[in-house]
A and B are shown apart, each in its own frame.
Chain A
Amino acid sequence: MTKTSTSKNNVNLPTPNMFQPITDMESDAEIDLFYDQIKSKLDTLVKDPQDETINKILAYSRSL
């Protein structure tokens, strides 16, 4: 009778970092600094709805 078994070797075992998320080198401080720098640029994208839209909403409310 022949005995079979699965040997434990390095190929089957997970490497220490296998399940850790890949992270980049950016620190929270760098991201915070970048956000501070870009805030004013992001603010340039702010838009208002047309007055006509606001007036329609107010008219709807008054009609109830």
Chain B
Amino acid sequence: MNLQSYNDQDLVKVYIAGNENGLQELLRRHKSKIYTSIYLLVKDQYLAEDIFQDAFIKVINTLRSGRYNEEGKFLPWVMRIAHNLVIDYFRREKRTPIITSADGMDVFNMLHFYDESAEDKMLRDQTHKDLKAMIHLLPDEQKEVLLMRHYADLSFKEIADLTDVSINTALGRMRYALSNLRKMLKTKEMTYKG
């Protein structure tokens, strides 16, 4: 049975009917979107792995118990579960995301200091790090919308439902997130040009 042509709802049905390949295909299809969104929120690979796993344990338990609402779409539903787990984690830790890179460097340093003699690959790597740092610098609500829109591929209606705001608010947050990223990139370029 080629499950790649099935839509998510059909894969859910296949899985509930007892075919494990349904879950395997859903994971293959959505793992990057869900994991990247979690990872860019918590900034820790191992924690992101744990939250990703916990989210799917909840998904499995809900599907197997017959409590899944078929009217909802699969990806926004899993994103809601993952999002709630991330919120639970920060509540437990009683902290908000820290604005540092994985190696503990202050992101402002990362944005302002460059090795002008570095080779292309180093510059690419640096751009990669800088962009990640800039995303982390965004206010939480803007970061959430950017991650859900770009990485999880959710519609603004789905994001609005998930974050309990109006569609206009979600749209506005996306706009501000992009505007802020643009300003940060401009600042970085100006610093680079010196």
Q: Chain A interface (Cβ within 8 Å of chain B)?
A: 24, 26, 28, 31, 34-35, 38-39, 41-42, 44-50, 53-54, 56-58, 60-62, 64
Contacts and interface: CB of A to CB of B under 8 A. Distances in A.
Interface residues of B, number: 32
B60 A46 contact: no
Contact of A49 (B20, B48, B131): B48
A31 B185 CA distance: 13
Interface of B: 20, 23-24, 27, 31-32, 35-36, 39-40, 45, 48-49, 52-53, 56-57, 60, 64, 127-128, 131-132, 135, 150-151, 175, 178-179, 181-182, 185
B178 A58 contact: no
A31 B175 contact: yes
A38 B189 CA distance: 14
B106 to A, nearest CB: 20
Contacts of B131: 38, 41-42, 44-45
